């Protein structure tokens, strides 16, 4: 169920998507964007008030948050403010991600949050970078802010952040091959540095047994800036300890877009995790790409958006889902000059209720003007599988 909330006394746009599963657990994704100009403190104040009111309106508790992702316009000058704010500080009782990806609606900061209705005391913030949620026999782990600030090469920094991830996986008795579900790799100056990320990731994957014959990981690799100016790579991750092999399927839609290893990179287009009453579908960063890895609709951002959405629809179809099942979208554009027409196109194609954020983030190949990613949730009945 998607809805847009508006409180007349709070200058903020609020978009909400909820999934109510047969097992009783409700998942909510909440996007909050301030609708006022002015300084960062005023915009954060509007976000906090709107967010708290929205959570109350939805019948949830603030402590039901699992993660919050903040999109920032100027991270070197804004990190200190965010890290001192109760919604984003290291003491916040959920995973916190702070990204230098400027929101394209004119604000300095925007928030995407994820809540689970029956969280109870199952979740625990174990460190600034690691949050775990025990549900039945499964241990869900969200990690954020993996980085390796130094004068080392991008390749070396990439290997370092993956090694940090591998060590975090050990805490849930997990491995990169069997328990990593989703990664987000953020790259400073992606046009120049992405090759180093690709080579570093390929090195780690070869070492850990992730190949074209086994599988890779659903992922986004995209431009971002960071508060630590000597960090060239940041990574956020999602993993599940105790994940059964029969719960996981990697999606392909080769009539629309080809395998990534065909052009030297290593990630899955999408990954599905099955539970007893629902499926979580994680859509990787998806651009206007064809079956042979070629760029479709060069120089036309709206045509590229259409093709990217067509590609996502193809991936979802292979999992028995539709675009309407997406519970949130993140849309990245290379050129802020495209923001107004892209925003209008998104409203027309996706509606105004489902959580959608449009941010500045250059795509990993210069000819791609736009990229989309997100998550879908659909009903699924398999009583032999674990509950979510």
Write out pLDDT tens, residues 212-248. 999 999 999 999 999 888 999 999 999 999 999 999 9
pTM above 0.85, yes or no: yes
- The backbone torsions φ and ψ at residue 260, rounded to the nearest 5 degrees and listed phi first, read -70, -35
- pLDDT recorded at residue 264: 84
Residue ranges of the domains in the chain?
A: 1-121
Residue 291 is classified by DSSP as: T
17-58 tens-digit pLDDT: 999 999 899 999 999 999 998 899 999 999 999 999 999 999
pLDDT band of residue 191 (cuts 50, 70, 90) is very high
- Per-residue pLDDT for 262 more than 90? no
For 317-329, what is the mean pLDDT? 96
Token pair 């994680």 is at which residue?
282
- pLDDT recorded at residue 189: 96
For 189-193, what is the mean pLDDT? 96
- Per-residue pLDDT for 263 more than 90? no
For 58-70, what is the mean pLDDT? 96
State the Cα–Cα distance between residues 252 and 181, nearest whole angstrom: 16
Integer-rounded Cα radius of gyration of the chain: 19
- Per-residue pLDDT for 85 more than 90? yes
State the Cα–Cα distance between residues 312 and 334, nearest whole angstrom: 19
- pLDDT recorded at residue 154: 97
- Per-residue pLDDT for 250 more than 90? yes
97-151 tens-digit pLDDT: 999 999 998 899 999 999 999 988 888 999 999 999 999 999 999 999 999 999 9
- Per-residue pLDDT for 294 more than 90? yes
For 181-198, what is the mean pLDDT? 97
For 152-179, what is the mean pLDDT? 98
- Per-residue pLDDT for 1 more than 90? no
- pLDDT recorded at residue 261: 85
Question: What is the DSSP pairing of strand 218-223 with strand 180-187?
Answer: parallel
324-338 tens-digit pLDDT: 999 999 999 999 999
**Mean pLDDT (the chain, rounded):** 96
Is the domain covering 1-121 a CATH 3.30.2350.10 domain? Answer: no
- pLDDT recorded at residue 56: 97
Token pair 């070629």 is at which residue?
294
- pLDDT recorded at residue 280: 98
Q: What percentage of residues in the chain have a pLDDT greater than 70?
A: 100
State the Cα–Cα distance between residues 15 and 219, nearest whole angstrom: 24
State the Cα–Cα distance between residues 114 and 375, nearest whole angstrom: 11
Contact present, 373 and 270 (Cβ < 8 Å) = no
Helices 154-170 and 190-208, packing angle to 10 deg: 40
* Number of residues assigned to the chain: 388
Contact present, 276 and 256 (Cβ < 8 Å) = no
Please state whether 20 falls in left (phi above 0), alpha (psi between -120 and 50) or beta. Answer: beta
| Token pair for 38 | 């002015």
Beta strand ranges found along 200-299 (DSSP E):
218-223, 233-241, 248-251, 270-274, 278-286
For 63-79, what is the mean pLDDT? 96
């Amino acid at each position: 169920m998607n809805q847009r909330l508006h409180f007349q006394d709070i200058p903020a746009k609020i978009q909400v998507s909820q999934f109510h599963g047969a097992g009783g657990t409700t998942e909510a994704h909440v996007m909050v964007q301030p609708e006022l100009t002015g300084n960062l403190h005023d915009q954060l104040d509007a976000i906090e008030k709107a967010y708290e009111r929205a959570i109350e309106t939805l019948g949830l508790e603030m402590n039901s948050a699992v993660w919050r992702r903040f999109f920032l316009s100027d991270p070197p000058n804004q990190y200190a403010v965010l890290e001192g704010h109760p919604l984003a500080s290291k003491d916040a009782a959920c995973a916190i991600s702070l990204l230098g990806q400027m929101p394209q609606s004119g604000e300095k900061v925007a928030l995407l949050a994820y809540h689970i209705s029956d969280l109870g005391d199952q979740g625990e913030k174990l460190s600034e970078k690691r949050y775990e949620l025990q549900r039945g026999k499964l241990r869900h782990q969200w990690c954020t802010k993996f980085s390796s600030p130094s004068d080392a090469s991008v390749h070396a920094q990439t290997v370092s952040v993956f090694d940090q991830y591998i060590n975090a996986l050990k805490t849930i008795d997990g491995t990169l091959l069997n328990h990593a579900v989703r990664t987000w790799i953020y790259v400073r100056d992606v046009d120049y540095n992405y090759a180093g990320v690709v080579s570093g990731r390929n090195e780690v994957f070869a070492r850990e047994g992730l190949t074209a014959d086994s599988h890779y990981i659903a992922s986004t690799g995209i431009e971002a800036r960071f508060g630590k100016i000597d960090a060239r790579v940041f990574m956020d991750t999602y993993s599940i300890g105790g994940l059964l092999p029969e719960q996981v399927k990697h999606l392909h839609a080769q009539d629309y877009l080809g395998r990534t290893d065909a052009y030297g990179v290593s990630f899955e287009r999408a990954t599905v995790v099955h539970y007893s009453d629902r499926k979580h579908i994680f859509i990787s960063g998806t651009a206007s790409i064809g079956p042979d890895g070629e760029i479709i609709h060069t120089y036309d951002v709206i045509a590229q958006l259409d093709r990217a959405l067509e590609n996502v629809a193809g991936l979802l179809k292979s999992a028995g889902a539709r675009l309407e099942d997406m519970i949130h979208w993140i849309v990245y554009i290379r050129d802020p000059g495209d923001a107004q027409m892209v925003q209008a196109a998104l409203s027309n194609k996706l509606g105004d209720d489902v959580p959608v954020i449009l941010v500045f983030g250059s795509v990993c190949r210069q000819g791609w003007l736009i990229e989309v990613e997100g998550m879908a949730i659909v009903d699924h009945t398999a009583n032999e599988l674990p509950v979510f």
